[in-house]
A and B are shown apart, each in its own frame.
Chain A
């Protein structure tokens, strides 16, 4: 087990190194950002001075080494627009994004897993078709489009939810979500919901076909017991990994939803940074998002390893 975790850890570190390489060289494609940092009335000498101050005139390899040493200690340079450390800006926005992603994930689980179970319990039937269709629509509906329709219908039309922004209520110093999270979380959760319907259904079908479940059925054990004892427990293992991956997706995939609902999270910051060509900030966010995905993958792999002895001993 220790060896397994260690090898996964080394793998993750290598991946992060690769990500750093990619984000650095992608930024080089965007040209010299100095023109965005000075006022347009600046003279060529002023521009040159800023260029030297920011170190953009150094050889690319020197800049890269500098970037890497900074990255190791969590320093991703300054946002060109905010003139503040990029990491600080990201961390300021993190709570809002985590709140949105968590609520969306819970929503997806509450909607998706029961639908998947329902579908899987009676494959080919009417309910199965309906659940599959619901899942498919969830996966194919463009969430940014749905988000706007939700706003028009529920906020402007019915007035049930606020149109935009994040309101929290503070209980014992903890910021709890309020109804302002419902529309964005719903719009965000649909894709994950669809995935969960699909995977839960497939897992149920697969386990139902396993010999021990067949045996249990033939012994005359009731449906309910089989579900709780065997099917749910065994289906949980692949679901863990899917949920882990999906949480990563939710954290990074909220660029549209956060922008549309003006949700003060990282996705919103990213869209703004792209709009302002603040590529230093984009770079930091891209790395941060990759870091989240890699860590979540690592954690799910470990959880998976703990849950499934075959993996533990196999590696």
Chain B
């Protein structure tokens, strides 16, 4: 229920109207309808999620199945293409459409679990930092500033080069380097609520700390966290492709978009579709998530929403 999650004044009152689930759905739907770009983003994103979940059913071929006789078939809309392989085949005759569909699994797995780990750890640390304050806060924020001032790409590449190629390692690298952003957001929100005097007031009337966290602080965080999570997921998908390009991401046999790019670039001058299509898939997904993220931000930040009207 994004529209109640942050109040422009920062004064937090339990004003959440108890709408039914259905009413909320209708409300969110209306918000989407009002801003078509958000809707487009949502649809695009759902397409990616759908292909990731149902990959075995919608992919026409096994993504690893080689057919050397059909190698380097161009996409269907070109002269020599055929609808056997709508997006053509790669250097080993593997169906590109199927690989793109399966590749969305790798990308979304990296993005989703990376963000999930980063977000949950970041949230916990941020709550501690903002709530406990004092020396703990100083130490945590020191660490956060430290990680944020590291040149991200340089370090990710460095760690990946040391630790080797596996899906788990890639996810963990992204998760750990991404914690600081979530810590910052959480802590900022906690401080804002604390400064509003609300917490003192609640404490003075005998509210329990735990209740304050769960009832007042967390609901306010959901909106901004989801927004940031969307952007961060998009960034992780982007960087995963980059690591794949350097040969530092998941093992080469795994059909990931980054690996497809890495292989396809060798043929870019002669068989351009092998590298172009996974590149477009990355742009497509990134665009979807950014449109969605932008929309969430506009919806969650009422000040900007007002401007838009």
Interface residues of A (CB under 8 A from B): 11, 14-15, 18-19, 22, 26, 29-30, 123-124, 129, 132, 136-137, 139-142, 144-146, 148-149, 152, 156, 202, 205-206, 208-209, 248-249, 252-253, 255-256, 270-271, 274, 277, 279, 282, 285-286, 289-290, 292-294, 297
CB–CB B245/A140 < 8 A: no
Taking the closest CB of chain A, its distance from the CB of B87, in whole angstroms, is 16
Please give, as numbers and ranges, the residues of chain B lying within 8 Å of A148 by CB-CB distance.
Answer: 265, 268, 275
CB–CB A205/B307 < 8 A: yes
CB–CB B307/A271 < 8 A: no
> Bound state CA distance, A18 and B308, in angstroms?
43
The binding surface of chain A is classed by DSSP as helix
A15, A142, A209: most-surrounded residue (chain B CB, <10 A) = A142
> Bound state CA distance, A155 and B189, in angstroms?
50
Residue of A nearest to B282 (CB): A142
**B166 close to A (CB within 8 Å):** no
CB–CB A282/B158 < 8 A: yes
Which residues in window 256-300 of B have CB below 8 A to A?
261, 265, 268-269, 272, 275-276, 279, 282-283, 285-287, 290-291, 294
Given contacts A29-B162, A136-B291, A136-B294, 11 further A-B contacts (CB under 8 A): A14-B142, A26-B162, A123-B308, A129-B37, A142-B241, A205-B307, A209-B306, A248-B151, A252-B154, A255-B157, A293-B151
Of the residues B149, B269, B303, contact of A209 by C-beta under 8 Å: B303
CB–CB A285/B154 < 8 A: yes
> Bound state CA distance, A274 and B290, in angstroms?
32
Taking the closest CB of chain B, its distance from the CB of A176, in whole angstroms, is 27
Residue of B nearest to A297 (CB): B149
Of the residues B159, B242, B283, B306, contact of A140 by C-beta under 8 Å: B283
CB–CB A256/B238 < 8 A: no
**B207 close to A (CB within 8 Å):** no
Q: Which 7 A-B pairs have the closest CB atoms?
A: A140-B286, A252-B151, A289-B151, A18-B146, A145-B279, A274-B161, A136-B290
> Bound state CA distance, A136 and B279, in angstroms?
15
Residue of B nearest to A254 (CB): B153
11 A-B contact pairs sorted by A residue (CB < 8 Å): A18-B143, A140-B238, A140-B287, A142-B241, A145-B261, A145-B275, A152-B268, A206-B303, A255-B154, A277-B161, A286-B158
Of the residues A132, A149, A253, contact of B151 by C-beta under 8 Å: A253
Please give, as numbers and ranges, the residues of chain A lying within 8 Å of B303 by CB-CB distance.
Answer: 206, 209
A123, A148, A277, A279: most-surrounded residue (chain B CB, <10 A) = A148
Please give, as numbers and ranges, the residues of chain A lying within 8 Å of B201 by CB-CB distance.
Answer: none
CB–CB A256/B242 < 8 A: yes
Of the residues B149, B158, B234, B245, contact of A19 by C-beta under 8 Å: B149
Please give, as numbers and ranges, the residues of chain A lying within 8 Å of B161 by CB-CB distance.
Answer: 274, 277, 282
A148-B275, A252-B154 known; A271-B246 Cβ under 8 A: yes
Of the residues A142, A152, A206, contact of B279 by C-beta under 8 Å: A142
> Bound state CA distance, A29 and B155, in angstroms?
14
Please give, as numbers and ranges, the residues of chain A lying within 8 Å of B234 by CB-CB distance.
Answer: 140
Taking the closest CB of chain A, its distance from the CB of B241, in whole angstroms, is 5
**B76 close to A (CB within 8 Å):** no
Of the residues A124, A132, A145, contact of B308 by C-beta under 8 Å: A124
CB–CB A19/B154 < 8 A: no
Taking the closest CB of chain B, its distance from the CB of A62, in whole angstroms, is 23
CB–CB A252/B162 < 8 A: no
Which residues in window 160-182 of B have CB below 8 A to A?
161-163
**B145 close to A (CB within 8 Å):** yes
CB–CB A26/B294 < 8 A: no
**B150 close to A (CB within 8 Å):** yes
Which residues in window 132-158 of B have CB below 8 A to A?
142-143, 145-146, 149-155, 157-158
**B203 close to A (CB within 8 Å):** no
CB–CB A142/B150 < 8 A: no
CB–CB A270/B154 < 8 A: yes
Please give, as numbers and ranges, the residues of chain A lying within 8 Å of B142 by CB-CB distance.
Answer: 14-15, 18
> Bound state CA distance, A206 and B269, in angstroms?
46
**B212 close to A (CB within 8 Å):** no
A140, A256, A290: most-surrounded residue (chain B CB, <10 A) = A140
> Bound state CA distance, A282 and B234, in angstroms?
27
Please give, as numbers and ranges, the residues of chain A lying within 8 Å of B159 by CB-CB distance.
Answer: 26
Of the residues B155, B242, B287, contact of A142 by C-beta under 8 Å: B242
Residue of B nearest to A277 (CB): B161
CB–CB A253/B153 < 8 A: yes
Please give, as numbers and ranges, the residues of chain B lying within 8 Å of A30 by CB-CB distance.
Answer: 162
